[in-house]
Structure 1
Amino acid sequence: MSEQQVSTALEELRREIDQLELDDQAARERLTGLIESIEQRLIPGVVDEDQPDLVDEVKDAVTHFEVEHPRITGILNDLMMALSNLGI
């Protein structure tokens, strides 16, 4: 998966966030924060050694969302594979 495909998957994830229940603010915040972390890592030349491993962060999100939000889990799995393939 290329960076363009990652960007497309992030847009798909944003659409899913928009469809979450209004009272699921914690899920919205967690996913929005994850998107921001991924986008930050995609900026060329920006490396933050203090930033946790992004793939591990996505894995944690997959575990958290797999039961209640299977569509989000599928998108996160795709992103995890793509980030790993990109060496991020």
Structure 2
Amino acid sequence: MPLLPMAVSADDVREAANIIKAAAQRTPVLTSTQANALTGASLFFKCENYQRIGAFKFRGAYNAISHLTPEQKKNGVV
């Protein structure tokens, strides 16, 4: 079965933010003068690796797991 593209609305983003707010840490946005000089651009790094568990994909994974049915949760998550 082919995967279909998902449309994400502003309401979806607000719902996800509400779901993860108790579990996710606010992480900094950092800059680097050296990276800016090397690229000739102003770069901003959202440091999701600063989550307590060090996982970059924490927010999306937490949100996805929160939408599993009880039956799906019985199967576990890898």
- Tell me, yes or no, whether TM beats 0.5: no
Structure with bigger gyration radius: 2
Q: TM-score range by the shorter chain?
A: 0.3 to 0.5
Normalising by structure 1, what TM-score?
A: 0.30
Q: Relative contact order (C-alpha < 8 Å, sep 6+): which is higher?
A: 1
Which has the larger helix fraction?
1
With normalisation by structure 2, the TM-score equals 0.33
